[in-house]
Amino acid sequence: MNETETEPAPQRGTVTQRAIERIKAMIAEGLLEPGARLPTERELAAQLGISRSSMREAIRALTVMGVLEARHGSGIYVTQLQAGDLLENFGVVADLSRGPRLVELLEVRRILESTATALAAARITPEQLAEVERHLAAMNATDDPEEILAHDLAFHREIALAAGNETMAAILEGLSSRTFRARVWRGYQEEGAFARTRREHAAIHRALAARDPEAARAAAAAHVGEVEEWLRAQLGG
């Protein structure tokens, strides 16, 4: 391979790795706006002087990171680079963590969730509060664990959104991913924790309706803390 005669650092790592950095840099520098369409795979490969296979791997990597989006038959596009896009695969952390790692994850969630709930108490709109109440009611109206879980997730998601920080909401979404919750809660709920959970959710809602940030923070921290303590005991014993 030839190089530009004066370049002392032609190749750092693998070809694919370089392609990833190049495209990432292009986006960081603003050469590629969010939503913009990239050249075709074949063209990109030619531009960087690599094979289409390697370019495809680079694109796959950026797709996983949530930076690019490939639409079959249409083209490759830059995502909106919203928090949700970039944190979409954050859930795998929760899905593949085990043992002490799970407790750490719940501790992080407790910190963020309590703060988010406190913020939400101050900022939530009547419409959002109504939505929260809807999920709360639906959660109490059924005994199907699947449905309860779904409304539970939606309940907290709505609160996180009401906090006004989309990034935090996206992170919490990952920390509460469906499979994660299902895994941890399977045992937790079997111990008849339904009643306790309902009480805690009611307390959170009460604090939100009263616009009391401190009460909301405490209620949310206790809510997550309950699960955290249970899980800690599971591991310890």
Partner DNA sequence: CCGCTGTAGTGGTCCGACCACCTGGCTGGC
Partner DNA sequence: GCCAGCCAGGTGGTCGGACCACTACAGCGG
Query: From the list 38, 50, 55, 83, which residue makes contact with a second copy (rule: CB under 8 A)?
Result: 83
Q: Which of residues 49-88 bind DNA (CB under 7 A)?
A: 49-54, 56-57, 59, 70-76
If we measure between CA atoms, which residue out of 25, 128, 123, 41 comes closest to residue 76? 41
Query: Does 22 contact DNA by CB under 7 A?
Result: no
Rg (CA), the chain: 23
Asked if 107 is part of the footprint of a second copy (rule: CB under 8 A), the reply reads yes
Helix/strand/coil (H, E, C) string of 36-73? CECCCHHHHHHHHCCCHHHHHHHHHHHHHCCCEEEECC
User: For a second copy, what does the binding mask look like between residues 110 and 149, x meaning CB under 8 A?
Assistant: -xx--x----------------------------------
Closer CB to DNA, 32 or 169, in the complex: 32
Q: Which is nearer to DNA, 70 or 193 (CB)?
A: 70
Query: Helix, strand, or coil here: 75?
Result: strand
Say whether residue 56 binds a second copy (CB under 8 A): yes
Site for DNA in 192-231 (CB under 7 A): none
With a CB cutoff of 8 Å and minimum separation 6, the contacts of 59 are 23, 41, 44, 68, 70, 76
Q: Is 98 in the site for a second copy (CB under 8 A)?
A: yes
What are the φ and ψ backbone dihedral angles of 41, each rounded to 5 degrees?
-55, -45
> Minimum CB separation from DNA for residue 34, in Å?
17
CA distance 222 to 36: 44
Which position among 55, 168, 215, 227 is part of the footprint of a second copy (CB under 8 A)?
Answer: 168
Q: Which does 21 bind (CB under 5 to 8 A by kind): a second copy, DNA, none?
A: none
Give the CA-trace dihedral at 28, 56, 82, 108, to 10 degrees.
Answer: -100
In the range 15-54, which residues lie near a second copy by CB under 8 A? 16, 24, 27-28, 53
CA dihedral angle for residue 103, residue 105, residue 107, residue 110, rounded to 10 degrees: -130
What one-character-per-residue DSSP string does 84-119 give? HHHTGGGHHHHHH--THHHHHHHHHHHHHHHHHHHH
Query: Using CB under 7 A as the criterion, which residues of the chain lie in contact with DNA when the complex forms?
Result: 14-17, 38, 40-42, 49-54, 56-57, 59, 70-76
Query: Using CB under 8 A as the criterion, which residues of the chain lie in contact with a second copy when the complex forms?
Result: 16, 24, 27-28, 53, 56-57, 60-61, 63-65, 67, 81-83, 86-87, 89-90, 92-93, 95-98, 101, 104-105, 107-108, 111-112, 115, 165-168, 171, 179
